[in-house]
Structure 1
Amino acid sequence: MKRFTLFVSLLITTLGYQKVNAQETAPTVKRAQNIFIELGGQGLTFTANYDSRFSNRRDGLGGRAGIGYFSVDGDKITSVPLSLNYLLGKGNKFFELGLGATYLSTSGDSEVLFNKNESNLVGTMSFFYRVQPADDGFSFRAGLSPVFSSDFFMPYYGGISLGYTF
């Protein structure tokens, strides 16, 4: 028995076997969180937004919420975008696919897309290119955000955003 134990000890030493603790080797990944301002996009106007992944990943399933306000010549629009999105990619470059809804409240005299002095709920999608750092730092998004309701469909509505990832 002593010879077998000595043989196993020598074999382990010769092969360079080392006990590895899984916690020491696995890199800690924190979930991506973003704050950003967006012109156009799912908020339809100028909005401030928060976006986060639902798990400790930089990609995958997540969601966003925002609020926006726009006023010109007495016409006012308040928007509240809410959506789910999925990020595909690695490193710091991602493709974002999303589906959501935006609450709009309008007031004033003109009718552009919506009836004046009315609240509406419209559907939105996102097909965006996103650059977000692996850690903390500047983030950028740009792409198409089709908008739809029972009355209309705008397939080529777009948006751009600048923000900070943490």
Structure 2
Amino acid sequence: MKRNLALLTLSCLLLSTTPLKAQEETNAAKRSQSVYLEFAGSGCALTVNYEFRLKKERISGLGLRIGAGGLAIDLFGTTSVFSVPTELNYIWGEKTRVSGEIGFSLTYLHIRDETISWFFDEPDCVEKEDLLVSYIPLGIRFRPKTNGLLVRLNAGPVINYSSPNLWSDHAIDPFLGIAVGYSFMK
């Protein structure tokens, strides 16, 4: 009986000093992440984006982002854009709330353009086009060190791999982007 009690006591002692899996997960390193709404920029339209840093416990360094969105403009017809931006970016400035950023994006665009007749309510011409463009943003971001409001401003060239097309007649166009969202560590 004393032997069983000694084994039970020893087992309880060992279990209490060994960290459990749930405790390890709560102590795990957190990753910097952001969710934001961007106008223009890499998405070339209005997009919702998710971004994260590749290294844990860092608010700067290499990161990835993906988004989706669109835009419709109704002037003498309707032009609509569906956009899926993906981007590899780098942020510098670990110890400050204001950081610089540079990136390279590949963005899928589906553009649909309808020209409406002046006399009839039917489209005269409907054009559709699928494009792949790149945006090379250089910008600034205002962000918290842990959780809070994120604001991004950037500018750079859009590289149009199949110009001329419905997007632009030029192979390279200047472009701007602005984004507002929430940045967090999780």
User: Under a length normalisation based on structure 1, what TM-score does the superposition of the two structures give?
Assistant: 0.75
**1:24-80: CA deviations, max 9, x gaps?**
xxxx86321000001110101111101100111110000110111111223211001
Q: Structure 1 unaligned runs (5+)?
A: 1-27
The correspondence for 1:161, drawn from 179, 182, 185, is 179
Structure 2 CA distance for aligned equivalents of residues 100 and 69 of structure 1:
17
Structure 2 match to 1:87: 91
Note closer, same or farther for the CA distance 1:144–1:47 as it changes in structure 2 (3 Å cut): same
Structure 2 CA distance for aligned equivalents of residues 157 and 116 of structure 1:
24
**1:86-111: CA deviations, max 9, x gaps?**
0011322211110011100011226x
Structure 2 match to 1:130: 141
Q: Which amino acid aligns with 1:43?
A: G
Count of matched residue positions in the alignment of Structure 1 and Structure 2: 134
Q: Where does 1:15-164 land on structure 2 (aligned, <5 Å)? A: 30-56=30-56, 57-73=58-74, 74-90=78-94, 91-109=96-114, 116-150=127-161, 151=163, 152-154=171-173, 156-164=174-182
Note closer, same or farther for the CA distance 1:71–1:48 as it changes in structure 2 (3 Å cut): same
Secondary structure in 2 matching 1:117: strand
Secondary structure in 2 matching 1:55: coil
User: Under a length normalisation based on structure 2, what TM-score does the superposition of the two structures give?
Assistant: 0.68
Secondary structure in 2 matching 1:42: helix
Q: Percent identity, aligned pairs only? A: 33
